[in-house]
Amino acid sequence: MTKRIALLTSGGDAPGMNAAIRAVVLTAQHYHMQVLGFHHGYNGLLNNEFTQLSLSDINGIIHRGGTILKSARCKDMRSDLGLKQAANVLFKNKIDALIVIGGDGSFNGLIALKQFWSGQMIGIPGTIDNDIDGTDNTIGFATAVNTAIDAIDKIRDTADAFDRVFLVELMGRKSGHITFNVGISCAAEQVLSFENFQINDEKQVLNKIAAQIKAAQQERHKSYLIVIAENLWPNGSQALADGLSQLTGIDCPLCTLGYIQRGGSPVAKDRLLATRMGVASIQAIVDDKTDMMIGEQNNTMSLVALTQAIKHEKRVSQALVDAQENILALN
Ligand code: F6P
């Protein structure tokens, strides 16, 4: 019997989602399955808004950022009413399996849907934040890191020209994967993230960095870059920038990279990861798996329980944090 697959992208878009869609459609075709692509995340499921995906839909998309299926965050998937509606649409369209490409919020939606729908469910981790357990990397993370590095290298050029101080705020929601990897790759003088900062340290950190900035500027005449994770500093990164400017008497502007990190053409690493995960998701369906996320562990595709994937236990490597704290940062 030909299986019918529903596919959607949900939550923050991530470069490489299109590559994953392409791989799902091609692999499904290989196994003689049909793929219905629902639009605008779970909203498309609630509104029965889909197109049957064919080869012409996935032609020429592997290099494109964003998602051809569009994405959204869907509050209705947090209520029984919304979940029942989604389940009805799946029944009505005779769907055997649902594949969701997204982050932890999207996987929570899948887990909740299980109460009302008994088809196969497979998650593919797509988020720039890399904050999903059970996978070494999520689709979009590598591109976001590269995009931020590219932007900060440019900021460094102008900072060097004037021996200026800059704070750069990076995305990641409540995780420091982007901040640490970018900070180290850009030789930032300071990396401030959840892994090396406690809220009680606020005053101490402020005074310490202010002293270091003064030393760097007065004695060594050099630029000074601080990368900081969004949602870290009490009252926001601008409060840190203001505090440092006040304490040092030196202008310390904040540059928020923001959504630029979500866009752009996926780098090779994301295209490959997304393609491998897309293929693995259909293979999991062929093998009658359900309630699983496709993960990448030690460069091998694996299956991880969705309930495990959303635990938020994955931390930035301690070795990386220690290297930054003890060796690389100016003390
Ligand atoms: O999860 C991806 C992400 O870009 C986070 O890094 C960021 O905190 C959040 O999404 C922004 O969400 P929204 O697109 O809803 O503003």
Ranges of each domain in the chain: 4-140+266-309, 142-262
List the structure tokens of 282. Answer: 């259909």
Asked whether residue 48 carries a pLDDT value surpassing 80, the answer given is yes
129, 131, 133, 270: the catalytic one is: 129
Report the distance separating Cα 132 and Cα 155, nearest Å.
30
Decide whether 4-140+266-309 matches 142-262 in CATH topology.
Answer: yes
CATH number assigned to the domain covering 142-262: 3.40.50.460
Report the distance separating Cα 135 and Cα 167, nearest Å.
30
Ligand 1 binding pocket includes 262 (Cβ within 6 Å): yes
Confidence grade of residue 1 (pLDDT, cut at 50, 70, 90): low
Confidence grade of residue 2 (pLDDT, cut at 50, 70, 90): confident
The β-bridge relationship of strands 190-192 and 224-229 is: parallel
Atom of ligand 1 nearest to the CA of 128: 2
283-322: b (≥16 Cβ within 10 Å) or e: bbbeeebbbbbbbbeeeebebbebeebbeeebebeeebbe
Of the candidate ranges 125-129, 140-144, 217-221, 253-257, the one whose mean pLDDT is the lowest: 217-221
User: What pLDDT does 222 receive?
Assistant: 86
Please confirm, yes or no, whether 288 is among the known catalytic residues: no
Ligand 1 binding pocket includes 131 (Cβ within 6 Å): no
156-213 pLDDT per residue, tens: 999 999 999 999 999 999 999 999 999 999 999 999 999 998 888 899 999 999 999 9
User: What pLDDT does 331 receive?
Assistant: 52
Ligand 1 binding pocket includes 65 (Cβ within 6 Å): no
Domain 4-140+266-309 has CATH 3.40.720.10: no
Ligand 1 center from residue 224 Cα (angstroms)? 27
Mean pLDDT computed over 273-280: 98
User: What pLDDT does 330 receive?
Assistant: 62
